[in-house]
């Protein structure tokens, strides 16, 4: 992956000056996290997690590789997947089990050749019940950002599993087709995290985090653009080409009803 990113950069003109990146800001309080309640932790098999974001009352956007078991290479059982909206310090604003999911039709999971999947590493998860908590407002999506554009990312990670963090200013370093290389700070668990553009009245999701890497000694995030993929995913879901949870209604140990905390 590192060589691939370097090859892309060398094939382009020298990068323009970037805005000064901001550091990570913890969203572990209600006030700090109020604008980002639709970002949640996606718990998988009780053994790992990714980051996901609500884009409608029933749809969560994330990375496709989050829905595959690293050990077997097989799709995970969706009955073992739960979205924890605005998970913070042991509680969430809403808990929902996954009903079905769809991945990009051109995505192929591979542990050996990760670079081949990055442009299509995006998925939608449909929840059993909508989230209608008035404090959890789904985000809209936007167009793929240009090189040099300022973006931001909200993510959970291995070292911040109990509350997300916001990096409000990082930059698109380069892009090729549907893949963006950004100066954002991500870690294991950040897969599927939303990358936001701040053009307009409210942040819009323009990419999801697919991988972390290094470029010239700098930690970078590699993301899959949302612009071209999301309509395709929605069409796949509408056509019934998603895969369902093996156990109806989210499994015997899932509570699919609403469980809220005060904002």
Helix (H) or strand (E) holding 238: helix 229-238
Task: Note whether residue 134 is domain-resident.
Answer: yes
Q: Which phi-psi region, left, alpha or beta, contains residue 36 (left: φ > 0; alpha: ψ -120 to 50)?
A: alpha
Of residues 127 and 118, more confidence is placed in 127
How many other CB atoms are there within 10 angstroms of residue 219's CB atom?
A: 13
Residue 83 resides in a domain: yes
According to DSSP, the β-strands at 243-244 and 94-103 are antiparallel
Residues 211-251: tens digit of each pLDDT: 998 877 888 999 999 999 999 999 999 999 999 998 655 44
Q: With 0-12 CB in 10 A as exposed, 13-18 as middle and 19+ as buried, what is 201?
A: exposed
Evaluate if residue 121 carries a pLDDT over 80: yes
- As for how many domains the chain has, the answer is 1
User: In terms of C-beta distances under 8 Å and separation of at least 24 residues, what long-range contacts does 114-119 make, across chains too?
Assistant: 114/1, 114/211, 115/1, 115/4, 117/64, 117/65, 117/210, 118/179, 118/210, 118/211, 118/222, 118/224, 119/177, 119/178, 119/179, 119/224, 119/225
Q: Does residue 256 sit within a domain?
A: no
Determine, yes or no, domain membership for 260.
Answer: no
Q: What mean pLDDT comes out for the span 178-183? A: 94
What Rg do the C-alpha atoms of the chain give, in angstroms? 17
> Does residue 258 fall inside a structural domain?
no
**Quick check: is 155 in a domain?**
yes
Residue 238 lies in a domain: yes
The residue behind tokens 């939608």 is 124
Residue span of the structural domain in which 196 resides? 2-250
Q: Note whether residue 261 is domain-resident.
A: no
Assign residue 76 a region (left: φ > 0; alpha: ψ between -120 and 50; beta: otherwise).
beta
pLDDT in tens, 35-69: 999 999 999 988 899 999 999 999 999 999 999 99
Report the CATH number that the domain containing residue 146 is assigned in CATH: 2.40.10.10
Single out the residue of 26, 4, 63 nearest to residue 207, CA to CA.
63
d(CA 214, CA 218): 5
Residue 2 has pLDDT above 80, yes or no: no
């Amino acid at each position: 992956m590192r060589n691939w990113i370097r090859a892309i950069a060398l094939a382009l003109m020298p990068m323009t000056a970037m805005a000064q990146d901001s550091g990570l800001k913890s969203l572990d309080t209600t006030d700090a996290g109020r604008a980002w309640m639709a970002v949640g932790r996606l718990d998988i098999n009780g053994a790992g997690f990714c980051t996901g974001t609500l884009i409608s009352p029933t749809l969560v956007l994330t990375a496709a590789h989050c829905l595959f078991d690293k050990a077997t290479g097989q799709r995970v059982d969706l009955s073992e997947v739960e979205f924890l909206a605005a998970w913070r310090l042991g509680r969430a604003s809403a808990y929902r089990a996954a009903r079905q999911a769809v991945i990009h039709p051109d995505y192929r999971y591979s542990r050996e050749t990760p670079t081949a999947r990055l442009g299509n590493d995006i998925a939608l998860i449909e929840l059993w019940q909508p989230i209608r908590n008035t404090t959890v407002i789904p985000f809209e999506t936007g167009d793929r950002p240009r090189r040099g554009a300022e973006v931001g990312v909200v993510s959970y990670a291995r070292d911040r599993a109990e509350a997300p963090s916001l990096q409000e200013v990082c930059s698109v370093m380069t892009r090729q087709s549907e893949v963006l290389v950004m100066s954002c700070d991500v870690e294991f668990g950040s897969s599927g995290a939303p990358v936001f553009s701040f053009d307009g009245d409210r942040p819009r999701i323009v990419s999801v985090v697919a991988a972390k890497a290094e470029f010239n000694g700098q930690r970078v995030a590699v993301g899959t653009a949302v612009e071209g993929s999301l309509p395709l995913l929605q069409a796949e879901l509408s056509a019934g080409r998603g895969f369902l949870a093996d156990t109806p209604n989210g499994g015997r140990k899932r509570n699919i009803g609403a469980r809220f905390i005060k904002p």
